[in-house]
Chain A
Amino acid sequence: MLDVAHISFAYGTRPILKDITFDVAPGEIVALTGPNGAGKTTLLKVLACLLMQDAGTVHLHGVDTLQRPIKYRRTIGYLSAHNPLYNDMTVEEYLTYRVRLKGERAMRVRRRINEALSASGLTDVRDTRIGLLSHGYRKRVGLADALSTFPKLLLLDDLLAGLDRPQRAACGAALSAASLRAAVIATGHELDEMLNWCTRVIVLNRGRIAAMFRTSDFDRAELIEQVDKLLADPDDAQEVSA
């Protein structure tokens, strides 16, 4: 479904992503982890068409991001790490704006918003101004926005950062439900939490894929240990990648 082939990207002369290749099948939830500066956010930005790769291709259901960017963007949902929102709008107004901006038909807008509110547990704050919401609720608004138009690919940057355990569990449940009709790529450092719902772990280090693990092939503790070992010793990561 999502084919990422030989992606490279550099800010000026500083390479950030080097020859990234992987694919994601429908229904998969991929946890993209790695140390700070590994290139997780940049990779997600390339996948969200916010940055144009220097080399390589990204295809979603055969649609190339560079050749048909509008069609591609119609099929993705993106949650930024900073989770910017319009504080002067209520949750419902914001989602209405976003759903309309994504080109949803007028007759479907209300239904989509109700579904997104329900999936993200925001029904009780739908009329609350976003500026008054706590960090956790704001994150959920961002998630509801990403989920709102039933995207085929969900790109979630640092979804769990700053959330307490119940909120993390709620996000996990929302993602598991969303994965029934979409592929999900979520970045973060909370591997222990992400293992509750992800099907694959990709470890990124220094702009390269250091390792990929199917969660079904490993014992949970063993997987965490392996990832920790990779991240503790960057040289090992380079070898695994090679």
Chain B
Amino acid sequence: MKAIRVIWLREVRAFRGAFSCGVPMVAFLVVYGWTFVMMLRNNEGSVLQIQSVWGLSVAPWLPILCAVLTMRLFAEERATGMIDLLMSAPIRERDLVLGKFFSAMTAVVVTLGLSLLVPALLLPALAGPQLARPSAAAIAATSLILLLQASTWCAAGTMISVLFRNQAAAAVSSLVVCSALPIAVYAAILAWLPGVRTSVAWMPLLMHVHDFSTGLFTTSVIMLYVATALFFLFACSKLLALLRLRG
């Protein structure tokens, strides 16, 4: 636990001053804010609740944010050679992976917290006192599914970062795995099985967000994200161990 905390603190500090953290966070908030406003306008008069609009405008951009936040975690260490010093320290690979993963999740949590400012500040100004405020439980449920999705993207990004010395290559590969691949699979399913279109109107990842934001919890969905994140983290620590074999 101590090693995880030491690495987490170091990485959070590195994030604080890193160009690769501040810029993507601001860009994410801008793009998300625009999506939020557009979604509000398009769904005027519909039954879509505010927390759903928030979740659905955040979710599509999360893989990109996570890919950019995680790209430097191991790629930078490998490029600078710092990975040698880390691996010669008396710590387990899994501690190293978890410390870095939690640091990326910290940045995601901060960004999600900031993204809540958009509805909190914008809506009272637009709707005034008629606005029905979402309950804290509804916001918490939406946050839970967003964090579950982010943990999966961050775990995948952390693992992919081990494979590269070049941060951009790591980010692009993470984007392909976290964003392009699910979309391609979904598009392929719709193309080959048009009958599914009626039952799967939205992409499942967005449907999960909508379900959770309306209070429809599914254990299997939670397990899916947790298991996927754990798989990527496990694979990441094994890849690090493999570096000792291959050099």
Contacts and interface: CB of A to CB of B under 8 A. Distances in A.
A74 B90 contact: yes
A82 B81 contact: yes
Interface in B73-94: 80-82, 84-92
B45 interface: no
Contacts of B88: 48-50, 73, 76, 78
A83 to B, nearest CB: 8
Nearest to B2: A103
B82 A103 contact: no
Contacts of A97: 6, 10
B244 A101 contact: no
Contacts of B90: 70-71, 73-74, 102-103
A76 B85 CA distance: 11
Interface in A37-73: 42, 45, 48-52, 70-71, 73
B82 A52 contact: no
Q: Which of B14, B17, B81, B245 has the most CB of A within 10 A?
A: B81
A101 B17 contact: no
Interface string B1-30: 011001100100110010000000000000
Name the interface size band of chain A: 20 to 34
Nearest to A145: B85
B89 A50 contact: no
Contact of A84 (B10, B80, B92): B80
B92 A103 contact: no
Contacts of B7: 101
Interface string B82-116: 10111111111000000000000000000000000
A100 B2 contact: yes
B3 to A, nearest CB: 6
Contact of A100 (B6, B14, B17, B80): B6
Contacts of B195: none
Nearest to A47: B88
B94 to A, nearest CB: 12
A21 interface: no
A85 B6 CA distance: 16
B84 A84 contact: yes
A76 B88 CA distance: 8
Contacts of A45: 84, 247
Contact of A88 (B14, B85, B245, B247): B14
A50 B84 contact: yes
Contacts of A49: 87-88, 244
Contacts of A103: 2-3, 90-91
Contacts of A86: 10, 14, 82
Contacts of A51: 244-245, 247
Contacts of A85: 82
Nearest to A75: B90
A50 B14 contact: no
8 contacts: A11-B247, A48-B88, A52-B245, A70-B92, A84-B85, A86-B14, A88-B17, A103-B91
Given A49-B88, A71-B90, A73-B90, 4 more contacts: A70-B90, A82-B80, A98-B85, A103-B3
